[in-house]
Homo-oligomer: A and B are copies of this chain.
Amino acid sequence: VHVDDWHITNPLVHLSRSPTTITNKLYSIMRQIIIHSGSDLPLKLSILCEDLNTAVQQVSKALSSRTTIPILSGIKITATENEVVFVASDTDISIQSTLPIKQGEKNNVKLEKVGSIVVPGKLFTDMIRKLPSEYVDFIVSETFQITIRSGPVELQIAGLDPEEYPLLPQMDKLQSLVLHSDQLITMIKRTLFAVSQNESTPILTGVLWQLKNDTLTLIATDRHRLSTTEISQVKAENIEFTNMVVSGKNLNDLLKLLPERDSWIEVVIANNQILFKLDQVLFYSRLLDGTFPDTTRIIPQTFKTEIVLDTKAFIDAVDRAYLLSREDKTNIVRMNSTEDGKIELTSTSSEIGKIKEKLDTFAFSGEEVKISFNSKYMIDALKTIESKQVRIGLTGQMSPMIIKPDQDEELLHLILPYRTSN
């Protein structure tokens, strides 16, 4: 089994979408089994424990603790002449990590026999972390029995037939763009928190990705708030999209794998999948079905009031007001302008009391302000702002509040105000 062989079709991807294709896909799996039967299964190799551990930890993030498909509780390991490939999948995301047999002078793997096997995912992941020797011997029998030896330890475990493991999504349409790892991390963190936690509107549990005229825009909203960020002059080839929605949960998993250090990430889109190509890791996520609501018209372009505040002073003040506001479980904080050009934050809990704080402004223009908002949403938005000053745009008591960094026009948060009595 060569890695290229995998790029055929992924039965699983279709499995949960169009039940009518299951029979066809089962035939296709059975055909695979016949073609490959026993030919190169008895994998045998010795592998550096540290590298094995790294690869296994990476893919293990796609292992689901409760899967109804037994083989998906496993990790598929495939050794070819050049590399050992690890794959785990929960049908929604799939992760592949590749370990080269040799890296320069470093011998990661002593390969005796190419082949593949599916190992029990959780046990293997936990066990590899605790093996005592530098190299781990790994021997697979014709009946998928696995013998693992490390120093005095001998482990015998039952593997599963690798031919039954689903294929990775086919990504043959090579529509792709390239992003810096730190750009991607920043863009995700600026929007991810605003996705809906409410499964009754599945499309809003994802982040919308749009690429137009080499500008990539991410948007998330839960109907009470919206966060959007963009970068221009993206390196993209033959590609434009307007309704690509990636599950917030999956983006959160991706964040754990993205390297902090500066490196390029290729993003490939095909059919209903998005693929992030990291150094030695491929991260596949299924796209969400459905149409993301058009949010362009709800973002006001002009304001009746604009205020510039010190970001840290503002977040600290909102944070204190939040502590009082959460006592009544409302999270409501009120913001008023004062006659001396400052703003005052207040929050009242009927049972416990009241907090009041005046804040200096760097700039204040337009009408007076009387508005109430969810302090938790404001804290979430402010936490993503690195600029020292934050600009608040307002258009009256019942219109959306706009929060953005004073220096950076590529990030915008919108919060719908609360209707309060006074």
Contacts and interface: CB of A to CB of B under 8 A. Distances in A.
B320 A130 contact: yes
Interface string A292-314: 00000000000000000000000
A34 interface: no
Contacts of A146: 353
Contacts of A367: none
Interface stretch (A86-94, A120-128, A223-231, A392-400): A120-128
A1 interface: no
Contact of A152 (B120, B126, B131, B358): B358
Interface in A74-127: 120, 123, 126-127
A164 interface: no
Interface in A146-198: 146, 152-158
B126 A323 contact: yes
B157 A352 contact: yes
A348 to B, nearest CB: 9
A22 interface: no
A63 to B, nearest CB: 15
Interface string A321-344: 001100100000000000000000
A51 interface: no
A260 interface: no
A319 B355 contact: no
A398 B156 CA distance: 28
A154 B357 contact: yes
Interface string A345-372: 0000001111111110000000000000
A70 to B, nearest CB: 10
A355 B154 CA distance: 6
A408 interface: no
A153 to B, nearest CB: 5
A202 interface: no
A130 B354 contact: no
B320 A127 contact: yes
A323 B130 contact: yes
Of A127, A316, A352, the most chain B CB neighbours within 10 A belong to A352
Given A123-B323, A127-B320, A352 B152 contact: no
Contacts of A154: 355-357
A41 B144 CA distance: 78
A33 B127 CA distance: 63
Given A130-B323, A316-B132, A351 B158 contact: yes
Given A152-B359, A316-B132, A359-B152, A127 B353 contact: no
Contacts of A358: 152
B323 A127 contact: yes
B155 A353 contact: yes
Of A123, A132, A351, the most chain B CB neighbours within 10 A belong to A123
A123 B323 CA distance: 7
A242 to B, nearest CB: 43
A130 B317 CA distance: 9
Interface of A: 120, 123, 126-127, 130-132, 145-146, 152-158, 316-317, 319-320, 323-324, 327, 351-359
Pairs A-B, 3 closest by C-beta atoms: A157-B353, A156-B354, A156-B353
